[in-house]
Structure 1
Amino acid sequence: MSPAIPADYEPLRPVEQLDVRSADGIRLHVEVHGQPGAPTVVLAHGWTCSTRFWAPVIRRLVDRYRVVAYDQRGHGRSEIPPSAVRYSTRALAEDLSAVLTRTVPAGERALLAGHSMGGMTIMAAGGRPEVAERTAAAVLVSTGPSDLIAELRVLPGVVRSPGLRRFLHRQVLRSRLPLGPVGPASRSVLKYATMGAGSPDGPVEAAARIVHSCPTGVRAAWAGVLGELDVRPGLARLTAPTAVVVGTDDRLTPPVHAHRMVAALADPQGLLLLPGVGHMAPMERPAEVAAEIHRMAAAHLRAAEPAAAGAVAAEPAAAEPAAAGGAVPTVSVPTVPRPTPPAATERSVSA
């Protein structure tokens, strides 16, 4: 029997659904959640995922924000590109631009949060005037700007040759083998590669169902793009205040990327390290990721008042119920504006 998916991980019913056309005509599925007229948070998911990936984070934001989430091209309910040339970092940037233009009114700005390929999307769009004018701040989660294959930590340490490791990693990521149904073996593989060892069965099952639903061709096409990705020029042109989040056990985009991004950002707003967390930080630790989004929104968006009981607290994030194996660590996250420090601060939750 498959593990039960926690209620927090079930997708919410959006208050609005939109079809947005990108610059090349590809149709993008967009969902709007939360409070009309509230400050806007835009969420971009990663490779092989969909808007469902953000469900536990959206639940923690909807009482205070208008939350926009969209399916990257080829994923979820967005259109699958008809040819390989439609998969590129430029396409990612143009898709984000189209979504922002449609969902963020002229003269207003949003907080952008991107996980994995979603973070790369935000970096790829760095320097685009139409994106910059609608961006108040950004949060980059479990992502990297370049050298993704070289820094992967998926293969065991017994494979020591750097050249062989890069070759094998590339072959695994570009595989066109179907993932098949979710089962014990596939859950174990996904957990090892993308989540921390202490992740409970429910979130692992939720993540596996999302990843397995990505079409094989789409998965392989984007893997090819990610294998050659270099969005460092866009990162250097990303002028909005930006925070970075990474799990210490992230095998796909390990912390070395986070440190490089913080060093390259024009206005770094801190690095949040999540001990024991893998690549799927928004699913593994949704409370901490939502709290970091809220911290940045509170500092850089117009004031947002809770619309109902149960809104995200303006005080430090409270502990979630204990997961199997022990209590969930928490982090105290300040939410009041503060002067930008001379250098980015690094914070870590207690283990």
Structure 2
Amino acid sequence: MVTSADGSAIHVEVYGPEGAPAVVLAHGWTCSTRFWDAQIHALSADHRVIVYDQRGHGDSPAPALDAGSRDAGGRGYSTEALADDLEAVLTATLGPGERAVVAGHSMGGMTIMAASRRPAFRQHAAAALLCSTGPSRLTEEALVVPMAPGRLRTRLTAAVLGAKAPLGPVTPLSKKILKYATMGPGSAPEKVDACARIVHACPRGARHGWSQVLASLDLEVGLRELKLPVAVLVGTDDRLTPARHSRAMAGALPHCTGLVELAGMGHMTPVEAPEAVTAQIRELTLTYLGVKENEEAGA
């Protein structure tokens, strides 16, 4: 466990050999470290893979809310808290001057944007992958409610994503709903099942608390402050953070290394298209944490 700036405990797992190129993986809303299992398996033979549970998810306890606050109004649920947690993980797991490729999916990508000006992030991040994410206007742009854009759709989207009701057990109906909202139409049943079990395991309080943060998200400044090399990846059938977000991010980033659009994939790209996501991470580590740097680190 790593202790964040406000005392919150953050669960961290580390895989792979010491001295190998480091990769830090930040998962998205309602997910956990298990969301990255395919990348952990593929990368840990020759990378040091660091994954952590965002606060309130997986084995990281829910944050203590500010006095009198019962929702996202407290700092416990905020983009600043996301940045605090990533800084804490980087500081605890990487040595002085050691750099890593940092990849974030959905809220994990937002975490990277929130941390863009933080000293520990700038010290330790060599390159980044923004995967199926966006910096702002999430409820306005989301396509989970099948109706024309406008204030009504935005309100309905916020109500659906911010619902306090428990998700209940994983059922054929719940998997069908999850697949429609978050995955491509061709997603294999076992991948839908895996995502459903991860999402349904997220505590209701954390799911609602973070939904309020995402509904009012504005990380446009943080996006433009990402001065390191950044790759962007998105599925063309992403309903939660549609590809228009990724295209705009690619244009706004100071050093975008490329935009990858995965045909037919939805929002859950690390699970839906694990090989493609892993390949992007490998390309970044090879380019920005290459052989020369590894040899010097081991000298």
Structure 2 length normalisation: TM-score?
Answer: 0.94
Tell me the SS of whatever aligns to 1:133: helix
Query: Hey, what does 2:50 align to over in structure 1?
Result: 68
SS in 2 for 1:271: strand
Counterpart CA distance in 2 for 1:40 and 1:270 is 21
Give the 5 Å matches for 1:79-98: 79-83=61-65, 84=71, 85=74, 86-98=76-88
- How much identity, in percent, do the aligned residues show? 55
Q: What stretches of structure 1 of length at least 5 have no aligned partner? A: 1-18, 306-351
* Aligned residue pairs, count: 285
Q: Distance in 2 between matches of 1:73 and 1:164?
A: 31
| Counterpart check, 1:287 vs 2:269 | no
Is the contact between residue 72 and residue 78 of structure 1 (CA under 8 Å) also seen in structure 2?
Answer: yes
Q: How far off is 1:297 after superposition? A: 0.8
Q: CA deviation at 1:36?
A: 1.4
- Structure 1 residues 103 and 192: CA distance shift in structure 2, 3 A: same
Query: Structure 1, residues 195-252: CA drift from partner, whole Å, max 9, x if none?
Result: 0000010011000000000011110000000000011111111111000000000000
Question: After superposition, what is the alpha-carbon deviation per residue over 1:303-331, rounded to whole angstroms, capped at 9, x for unaligned?
Answer: 299xxxxxxxxxxxxxxxxxxxxxxxxxx
Aligned to 1:31: 13
Residues 170 and 294 (structure 1), Cα distance of their counterparts in 2 relative to 1, 3 Å cut: same
Tell me what 2:144 maps to: 154
Aligned with 2:11: secondary structure? strand
Determine helix, strand or coil for the equivalent of 2:254: coil
Runs of 4+ in 1 over 6 A off after TM superposition: none
Instruction: Quote the Cα distance in structure 1 between the aligned partners of 2:149 and 2:14.
Output: 47
Say whether residues 1:207 and 2:189 are aligned partners: no
Structure with greater helix percent? 2
Alpha-carbon distance in 1 for matches of 2:44, 2:123:
24
Does the 8 A contact of 1:39 with 1:304 survive in 2? no
State the match for 2:68 in structure 1.
none
2:186 is matched with which residue: 198, 206, 222? 198
Residue 156 (structure 2) aligns with: 168
Partner of 1:101: 91
Deviations along 1:262-317, whole A, 9 cap, x unmatched?
Answer: 11111100001100000000000000100010011100013299xxxxxxxxxxxx
Q: Contact (CA 8 Å) 1:49, 1:211: kept in 2 or not?
A: yes
Tell me, yes or no, if the aligned pair for 1:194 and 1:279 is still in contact at 8 Å: yes
What is the deviation of 1:130?
1.7
2:177 aligned residue (189, 196, 214): 189
Contact 2:129 2:231 in 1 (8 A): yes
Shift in Å, 1:161: 5.4
**Which TM-score applies when normalising by structure 1?**
0.80
Q: How far off is 1:104 after superposition?
A: 1.0
- Whether the 8 Å CA contact 2:8–2:64 is kept in 1: the answer is no
Output aligned runs, 1:237-276, within 5 Å.
Answer: 237-276=225-264
Q: How far does residue 66 in structure 1 lie from its aligned partner after superposition? A: 0.2
Q: Give, in angstroms, the shift of residue 82 of structure 1.
A: 2.4
CA contact under 8 A between 1:150 and 1:166: conserved in structure 2? yes
Q: Give the corresponding residue for 2:296.
A: none
Write the letter of the residue equivalent to 2:236.
T
